[in-house]
């Protein structure tokens, strides 16, 4: 956070990539949460960067949100949902 003092660009992102290998073929599923780094810590919830990261679409940091609120922005959740959708489609293809 201190390294950004005086810098107008405070954009940041959390990114998760889940990889799945089936029969030697690799599939990747990406989840991204864009946001900004605050100028001061905000909130006491979560861990790591949560008190200094405000996701796009919110005026509060992850450190100010409940776990349920954070889930709507979750990069891990977005990647995992893409994986689940893929596996369901794969299952449907195999059944037909």
Whichever domain contains 64, its CATH number is 3.90.950.10
What confidence tens digit (pLDDT) does each residue in 42-92 have?
Answer: 999 988 999 999 999 999 999 999 999 999 999 999 999 999 999 999 999
How much is the pTM? 0.82
- pLDDT at position 7 over 90: no
C-alpha–C-alpha distance, residues 80 and 24, integer Å:
20
Q: Beta 53-55 vs 11-22: how paired, if at all?
A: unpaired
Domain around 77: 2-95
**pLDDT band for position 3 (cuts 50, 70, 90):** confident
Find the mean pLDDT for residues 15-21: 97
The pair of three-digit structure tokens given for residue 71, joined into one six-digit string? 């889930």
Query: In the prediction, which pLDDT does 1 show?
Result: 60
Total number of domains constituting the chain: 1
């Amino acid at each position: 956070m201190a390294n950004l003092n005086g810098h107008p660009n405070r954009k940041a992102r959390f990114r998760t990539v889940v990889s799945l290998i089936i029969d030697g073929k690799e599939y990747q599923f990406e989840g991204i949460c864009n946001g900004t780094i605050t100028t001061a810590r905000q909130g006491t919830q979560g861990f790591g960067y949560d008190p200094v990261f405000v996701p796009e679409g919110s005026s509060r940091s992850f450190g100010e949100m409940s776990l349920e609120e954070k889930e709507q922005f979750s990069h891990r959740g977005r990647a995992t949902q893409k994986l689940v959708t893929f596996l369901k489609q794969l299952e449907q293809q195999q059944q037909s």
